[in-house]
């Protein structure tokens, strides 16, 4: 295996195991770019990495569809225990670490009871037909509160589908993006914004 392939495989392993869903979604986009020839990898390497049937007219790319979603959650307990903790670590102010902890997305399974808003579809991509420009996008969102509560974080997650061979979607853990300030929201109120990838 060439050193560039080993480096890419190592990066892929670290991203999937350490950084989470959003990065895995982005890797699917990178996969599509590789298959479209946007990155300069030898064709045998891309065949090996992604099992893509290059130069086969009736081949398929699997998964062939990916959808990215956003929602918001109440998560005071985790934020207090893992983030606010840095303000006073056994009498020492270590809030400089808190800033770093806030910047790192948390990859975890979110309990459905924590979800405060609707789930908004940001983007669906047909991976088998993507062109390089499809990997960059700005997706507006509108989240509507389903109850009176606090919002401590946004949660990004995605589903992928194998529409050519099965109809059921598959999914992984969620990526939690904590907010610096807690939001108070009442049922029916909206949060409007956009996500840039």
Q: What is the pLDDT of residue 188?
A: 97
Note whether residue 95 is domain-resident.
no
Residues 195 and 154: beta-carbon distance below 8 Å: no
Most confident of 46-50, 98-102, 135-139, 141-145: 141-145
Which residues, including other chains, have CB under 8 Å from residue 90's CB and lie 6 or more apart?
Answer: none
| 79-129 confidence digits (pLDDT tens) | 888 788 888 888 988 888 888 888 888 888 889 999 999 999 999 988 878
Note whether residue 166 is domain-resident.
yes
Q: What are phi and psi of 71, to 5 degrees?
A: -145, 180
Which residues, including other chains, have CB under 8 Å from residue 21's CB and lie 6 or more apart?
Answer: 107, 156, 157, 158, 172, 173, 174, 175
pLDDT exceeds cutoff 60 at 15: no
pLDDT exceeds cutoff 50 at 64: yes
* CATH code where residue 180 lies: 2.70.160.11
Integer Cα distance of 176 and 183 in angstroms: 15
Note whether residue 85 is domain-resident.
no
pLDDT exceeds cutoff 90 at 186: yes
Domain that holds residue 176: 20-29+61-76+105-196
Among residues 34, 58, 59, 36, the alpha carbon closest in space to that of 45 is found at: 34
Note whether residue 86 is domain-resident.
no
Q: Tell whether the torsion through CA atoms of 95, 83, 76 and 185 is positive or negative.
A: positive
Residues 62 and 162: beta-carbon distance below 8 Å: yes
- Three-state DSSP class for 144? strand
Number of domains in the chain: 1
Pull the structure tokens for residue 42: 């030898």
């Amino acid at each position: 295996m060439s050193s560039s392939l080993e480096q890419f495989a190592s990066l892929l392993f670290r991203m999937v195991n350490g950084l989470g869903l959003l990065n895995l979604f982005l890797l699917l986009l990178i996969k599509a770019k590789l298959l479209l020839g946007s990155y300069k990898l030898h064709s045998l390497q891309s065949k090996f990495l992604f099992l893509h049937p290059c130069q086969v007219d009736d081949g398929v790319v699997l998964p062939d569809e990916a959808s990215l979603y956003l929602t918001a959650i109440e998560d005071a307990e985790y934020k207090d225990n893992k983030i606010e903790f840095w303000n006073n670590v056994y009498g020492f102010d270590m809030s400089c670490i808190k800033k770093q902890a806030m910047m790192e997305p948390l990859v975890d399974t979110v309990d459905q009871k924590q979800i405060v808003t609707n789930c908004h579809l940001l983007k669906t991509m047909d991976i088998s037909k993507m062109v390089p420009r499809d990997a960059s996008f700005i997706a507006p969102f509108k989240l509507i509160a389903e109850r009176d509560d606090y919002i401590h974080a946004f949660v990004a997650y995605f589903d992928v589908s194998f529409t050519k061979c099965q109809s059921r979607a598959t999914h992984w853990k969620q990526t939690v993006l904590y907010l610096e300030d807690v939001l108070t929201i009442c049922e029916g109120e909206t949060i409007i914004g956009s996500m840039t990838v």
